[in-house]
Amino acid sequence: MLRPVAEDVHVLTVDFKMGAFDLGGRMTVVRLPDGGLWVHSPVRFSPEARAAVDALGPVRFLVAPNLMHHLSLQDWAAAYPDAKVAAPAGLRKKRPELRIDLELGDAPDAGWAGVIDQVLVRGMPKLDEYLFFHRPGRTLLVTDLAFNVHRTGSWFTRTYLKLNRAWQRLAPTFIVRAILEDRAAARASLDTALAWDVERVVVCHGDVVERGGREALANGFAWL
């Protein structure tokens, strides 16, 4: 179920629908240098998903990368009580019942700083999305800031993304533009990510960009 996309970086792709949208979903599992696992945007919990993750190693961190991707976090946190749950500070208010051990900040936690960089995309407080970059695998992780959907069984999804100029390309939707409150702050955050040596972009919704990730990201946000 878990597919390697780079050394020590694996992804699990699942079906995911939200109302009329059929976008698919994806979580990313990074094996840290000590052998522990860092799990980004956990998808719906199942015995099969757990078995696939356990086969890679012990779970050390469970990461909610923005204020939206938290629906399955509680189930994973219950299954792995020794793992630390990391999330944006704003998620405490949104999900007061959720165990959060680490608040994400400007600097990566010491537990993953050796291989993973991060930046908060400022100027979008309703989303508060963090981008993460696995340096050894040259892999950038994007959650809702941009999609890369190339196929879908939903006519509505396909039409919506075409109208957004986000069909079959790495790009944001009108929703992202609508919640943008500080264009300069968002641009500065994106510039930080564009300074990383990105080859691959793993999105939570759509296809993985296997090559030319930095160029794809720059093109998708040229309007910003």
Domain count, the chain: 1
Looking at the chain, the whole-number percentage of residues with pLDDT higher than 70 is 99
Q: What pLDDT, on the 0 to 100 scale, is given for residue 153? A: 81
* Domain of 73, in residue numbers: 3-220
Q: What confidence tens digit (pLDDT) does each residue in 136-161 have?
A: 999 999 999 999 999 888 888 899 88
C-alpha–C-alpha distance, residues 62 and 50, integer Å: 13
pLDDT at 164 over 90: no
The domain that contains 78 carries what CATH number? 3.60.15.10
Global pTM value? 0.95
C-alpha–C-alpha distance, residues 159 and 165, integer Å: 10
Task: Assess contact for 41 and 26: CB atoms under 8 A.
Answer: yes
